[in-house]
Structure formats: C-alpha cells, structure tokens
Structure 1
Amino acid sequence: MTSADTPAVEAAPPGTPRPGGPAPLAGRTVSRVGYGAMQLHRLHDDRPAAVALLRHAIDLGVDHVDTAQFYGDGFVNDVIREALGPQDDVLVVSKVGATSDPDGPLPLRLAQRPEELRAEVEDNLATLRTERIPVVNLRRVDSGVTAVPIPDDQVIDLDDQLAELIALRDEGKVGAIGLSSVSLDVLRRALPSGIVCVQNAYSLVARDDEDILRLCVDEGIAWVPYFPLGGAFPGLPKVTDEPAVLAAAARLGRTPAQIGLAWLLHHAPDGLLIPGTADRAHLEANLAAGAITLDEETLAALDAIPTRSPAVP
C-alpha cells in the first residue's frame, strides 16, 4: 500500500512471527490469521483509535487485511490508507458486489452489474490511494447468509461479471480475482479465470461448503471463511455455545472463540482467517488462536459436532 498522507510509522520488527504461521495467497506468503477490517467502522467517532488498532495488528505480525469500500461508507478504507505505509508490505484484499447506501433502509445495497463492479473498484482505488488492489473478491449471492434484498436486476450472469474483473486485471487496477458467497458450480465455472481465493460463510457449526473447501485445496485456492464462529444473525447457531467447544476451552485454558478459530486452522490446509474486532484485547486473543495445538482427542470431539446451519436461511 502507498499513500500520500501515510504517517511516519514503524513496520513490524524483522522476524516477527506470522500469526498462525505462513500460507500462500495470490502468489505471496501471508499470515494465516489476518485481520478483517469491517469492525473498524464501530470506531467511526474515534479515528485515532481505529488507526492504532490496525497498527497494533500489523505490529503483531498481521500482513493480510480484508476490507471493502462499503465498510463504513469508506471510513474503513480511509483508516487503512492512514495506518499502512509501503514499509509494511501488507496484502490488502477488497471486495465488490455491493455499495454503500447510507440513506436507504439498509446501509448497503447490492451492486452486481459489471459497470457497478468497475465503479466499486475505482472507489476502492480512490479511498485507498493506490494504483492497484492486490486482490478483489467478487461478492455474489449464490450461497451464504445475507440480509440484503436481491432485486431482479441484480441477478447477473457470472461470465459478464468475470469479464469486467478480468478487464480490470488486464488494466493493472486489480492484481488477482477472488470469489465470495458462491456455490460449487459457480466456483467450477470460474476456475479458468484464475481464482486465487474463496470467501464463504463457514464455521464448525456451518460446514455445508465442505465440498467447496476441498475443491479449493485441490486447486491451490486460498480458503478464507467469513463468519468463522457462526451466529452471524439471530437464530443461527454459535460455535461458542457448543458443549464440546466449551469443554475444550476449559481443558486448554483458552476461550471458546479461540477454540473455534483454531479448529478452522487445523481443518483446512493453508486456510486463512480474517477475524474482525474493534477491541485490542479481542484482537490479541484472535491472533493467539493461531498458536493453539489441538490434540487428536479434542479434534475428534470437535469434528463430531453436527452442522446445523443451512447454506441459505
């Protein structure tokens, strides 16, 4: 990342361990536990605190940050631009497929048409003040959990969307293309486009996309689950409520959330996590989950937890 107004900050000390160890993403090696920046919008009224929190993540070895222009109507990207400098060498991943709608019934609306995807990429470039976004994820609505209505004019053919993103990649504005909230069929159709990562809703209690995870492993595509602890909306099961998770946490002296994150790292070879928070202590706990070793007995007990969350509620 580069910025015209990047503050004078120090990069993480050389040799800082990567939280969770290393894994490949878009031709680079990054920390398996990164940072999902969406929750920074909760610090909208305290911008210095938001910048300081992101800096703390980088100081602890995070070099993979997930964002979107529609997070906080551009606020989150503004924080990233201010907090990161070229010396940090952080891989910033953004997404398109929705846009901010602060005056609407919901704070965002779908923006799936090719021209809307291009506009979102341009907006990301402007707020991040960079000439290229290393990875851009196409956030579709084929699967997963969403509270955003899907108008008829937002049901767009995958090929039309990929054609626009490939054009943006050819222009140098996008480094690589990923997918989010997609079905197995859509992923298979997209493979010739050079997909580098997939972000789908997935957790210990919501494992409907196991076949997609396995295809990602077979194809060398990074698996980056969102909602890693379940419970994204009222009525959906939470990893932290599971008796087996609570028992493992008590036995290992960890929090239930850390156990849920550690299971994901053990379950998916080279899988990446992007847990988000606006709290410093919670950030540190999330990153510490990358150092947890789960023995075979504990893994067997966690694996036995049934998936209870449908792909589309």
Structure 2
Amino acid sequence: MVVGSDVQEAADSEWRLGTLRVSRMGFGAMRLASAAAFGQGPSRDRAESIAVLRRARELGVTHFDTAAFYFSALRSANELINAAFPDHDDDLVVATKVGPSRNASGEWADPARPDQLRGQVEENLRQLGRDRLDLVYLRVFGSGSVGEHVGALAELQAEGLIGNVGLSNVSTAQLTEASDIAEVVSVQNRFGLDQRTPEALAVLEETTRRQIAFVPYFAMAGTGGERGRPDETNPVVTDIANRHGASPSQIRLAWTLHQGPNVLAIPGTGDIAHLEQNVAAARIHLSREELDSL
C-alpha cells in the first residue's frame, strides 16, 4: 500500500508527534545495550554505544525510541541516551514505553496495572535524567479495553510528566477508544514488507486518516522479529537492491518510508557503519514500478 503519488519525495523528511517534529528516519534503542534483543547477550561497550547515538544525531536523526526494559547485565538503553545527550537538545525527541517490565534478573513481569504506570513513568524519567517525557507509548496486550490505562497516562500528562501519548500493539477499536480519552499522536505496531496482515494495514490506514504517526517495529527484521533480520530470501528485494547499489535491508527501510508521509522508521543497531547505512536508506527513492513489484 502506497499513500499518495509523491510519497517518494517525503522519504527523508520530517513528521510531527503532537507539537514535536521528528526525522522520519529514527533510531531504535532495543539493541543498544546488547547485541541481542532485550539484553539477551553480552553487553555492548559503553563508549561505542554512546558514539553510535551521537553519530545518529550528527546524521540528522532527532527521533530516538527506547524503554526502561531495554537493558542488559551492564547497560541500560535509557541511561546510555542520557549519557550521550546530557544537555537535552530541544530538537531531540525521546519516545519511551510503559506496560511491560523486567525484574533485575531480566525476567518479564506481568503487564502493569493502571495504578502501576506512574512508577514506570517515574523510572523512565530517572533513567533519562528528565523532568518530562516527550512521548510515552502504552504497550497493549490483548484485545480488551485500554481506557483505564490511557486514563492513567492522561492524568500524568495533565501533571506535566508526559508530553504526548502513543499506543503500541493496538487495533483500530483500541485506537478509537483511547482517542476519546487522550490525544494519541502515534501508533507503534508490527509492520513490514512481509508483515502486512489485514489488521496491520487497517491500523496504518486509520492512522493515515487521522494524520498521526505510524511507527512500525521489526520493519527490517520481518519474520525474524526480535531475533533480527534473517538472510534475504526475497528475489524482488535483492534485485531492486542491486539496481540501487544498496543492501536488501536498505530497500526494506526505504519501502517502509514510502508507505505514507506519516510512516516513520526506527531501525536499531550498535554499529556505526550499520547506522550510516540505515540513515542513507531514507534517501533511496523507489519508482512506482519498484513499489508495485514489492
């Protein structure tokens, strides 16, 4: 699905998150603390992780996506971001998530109740060294009501602890329910070139109709999910990559950005060379023929 005829021209532009403006090519911090997702591997070198974050900012990235549960035995993604950007650049937007949590041993706990969200917000504030969070996503589990949880975030927003509210892993019905309680500026759902379920497409269409951001996670990883991108097996992707002198992963990122001007990308890496390749993907303009073939 491609929205509009001139989406290609917007592939390296900006979008708004409420009152904020962000680069459409962002950075996801899930693999910043460890090479494996959610810290399931050796901790990365602290100086190298901070260098990656600062290089992303030098390349024009202003949108950083993180969570308090992104940590390894020795590293915390939130605290690495705090260390990399101690001056809290006004143009830099940090989005975080609440709902899930892991204990000190890294084991997952039950999703947070509405009354537990304040503690999670305050923990993100402490780790990021901030008085206010730019954007907080409620990560939803299941198809039930989100009203009480969104209401709890709306209260924290009214107190000034949260700037903007987003949703993650939601249906169109949940987005509608939440929007009656608080202004939702962004939705973060699983979506990608080979992850285009009817439900995912419906949410993308609804966010486009509402003119709010749609931020796919695992957009590059596809079926690999948190395990990361497997070897490329799609011959169409490989062919187009060869035509552009790009990698298959870059074509997948470019395709993501071509799905609409409100679609953002948040690829993550702990390697500066990979980071530079990801950012360069925002400048790949796919033709109508290439988009149709994909």
Instruction: Tell me whether the two structures share a fold, i.e. TM-score over 0.5.
Output: yes
Aligned-partner Cα distance in 2 for 1:286–1:42: 19
Q: How does 1:1-313 map to 2 (within 5 A)?
A: 20-42=12-34, 44-72=43-71, 75-84=76-85, 85-87=87-89, 89-103=91-105, 107-142=107-142, 157-192=145-180, 193-208=182-197, 209-229=200-220, 230-233=222-225, 240-302=232-294
The CA deviation at 1:288 is 0.4
Q: How many residues align?
A: 271
Contact 1:77/1:124 (8 A) holds in 2: yes
More divergent stretch after superposition (86-95 vs 170-179): 86-95
Residue 225 of structure 1 and its aligned partner are, at CA, apart by 0.3
Overall identity of the aligned pairs, in %: 39
Post-superposition Cα deviations, 1:263-282, rounded to whole Å, max 9, x if no partner, equal 11111222111100111111
Superposition deviation, residue 236 in structure 1: 10
* CA distance in 2 between partners of 1:48 and 1:268 (Å): 36
* Whole-Å separation in 2 of the counterparts to 1:237 and 1:135: 27
> Offset at 1:237?
9.2
1:253-311 deviation per Cα after TM superposition (whole angstroms, max 9, x unaligned) = 11000101101111122211110011111101110000001011111100xxxxxxxxx
Deviations 1:49-102 (CA, angstroms, capped at 9, x unpaired)? 111110010011011100001110671111111111234630000000111224
Q: What is the CA–CA distance in structure 2 between the aligned matches of 1:162 and 1:297, rounded to whole Å?
A: 42
Distance 2:11 2:226 in 1: 30
Contact between 2:145 and 2:174, CA under 8 Å: does it hold in 1? Answer: no
| Conserved 8 A contact 1:158-1:186 | yes
1:157: how far off?
Answer: 3.8
Distance 1:158 1:185, change over 3 A: same
Contact 2:195 2:223 (8 Å CA) reproduced: no
Specify every segment of 5 or more residues in structure 2 that has no aligned partner in the other structure, as ranges: 1-9, 36-42
Q: What is the alpha-carbon distance in structure 1 between the residues aligned to residue 68 and residue 113 of structure 2?
A: 16
- Cα distance per residue 1:21-72 (max 9 Å; x no partner): 2111222221100100111111735211111110010011011100001110
SS of the residue 1:70 aligns to? coil
CA RMSD across the alignment: 2.2
TM-score (norm: length of structure 2)? 0.86
The one-letter code sitting in structure 1 at the alignment partner of 2:105 is D
